[in-house]
Homo-oligomer: A and B are copies of this chain.
Amino acid sequence: MRIAVLGTGSVGRAIAGRTAELGHQVTIGTRDVAAVRAGEQTAWLEQHPEVGLATLPEAADAAELVVNATNGSGSLPALTAAGAPNLAGKVLLDIANPLDFTAGFPPTLSVLNTDSLAERIQREFPQTRVVKSLNTLTAELMVDPRQLAEGEHSVFVSGNDAEAKRIVTRLLISFGHTDVIDLGDLSTARGTEMLLPLWLRLYGRLDSAIFNIKIVR
């Protein structure tokens, strides 16, 4: 697949590196290509010559699957910059969490309970097929789940478009995920985004981000 990864943080780099390794044609989309080339991502980009770098609209336009790997607070602006026409008809894998760090740690959620970031994105881009997933575990485990307990833990997908969820599920399985649970429509993303407060406390308690939830049933 032609994949655009929006965001140059740890999640964006993990997804871009792994999908390129799996043979996909991958471009990272960013606001300022020159700044990223000259910045702290330089070494990573040099180590991953197979991953392209482009502006947000260029990356989105060329892709079949777009990954939202931006911060939650930057997601709507980044997607708006990518451009609704460039996102129309595409599958958008939304990994962002609406964390608000303005009052320090632990962060709160800026949207929750009766709404979610995923639903906000879907309302703003009605022609895009939004699938929420991977937002409940750390970047390293998103793309290489088998490094922990041979992959014996769970990941969730939420979305209104069954085919889009199948495409994302196949990608997750190719990463090594063994238990992909389809929660239902996109409103179920409220549940996975609202898992973050527990995730963050466990992160503090376990002193490591290499953990995940398994739904034992």
A198 within 8 Å of B (CB atoms): yes
Q: Which B residues touch A206, using CB under 8 A?
A: 215, 217
CB distance from A95 to the nearest CB of B (A): 16
Q: Cβ of A112: which chain B residues have Cβ within 8 Å of it?
A: 112-113, 194
| Min C-beta distance of A65 to chain B, whole Å | 24
A88 close to chain B: CB less than 8 A: no
Q: Is the CB of A198 within 8 A of B205?
A: no
* Distance between Cα atoms of A204 and B187 in the complex (Å): 13
A215 and B213 CA atoms in complex are apart in Å by: 5
Contact check, A217 vs B208: say whether CB atoms are below 8 A apart: yes
Which one of B108, B183, B208 contacts A202 once the chains associate, using CB atoms below 8 Å? B183
Interface flag for A128 (CB, 8 Å): no
- Please list 18 pairs of residues, one from A and one from B, whose beta carbons are closer than 8 Å in the complex, sorted by A's number: A109-B113, A113-B197, A148-B217, A153-B216, A156-B198, A183-B205, A184-B201, A191-B199, A191-B202, A192-B198, A194-B194, A194-B197, A194-B198, A195-B195, A206-B215, A211-B216, A214-B214, A214-B215
CB within 8 Å of B: which residues of A? 108-109, 112-114, 148-149, 152-153, 156, 181-184, 188, 190-192, 194-195, 197-202, 204-206, 208, 210-217
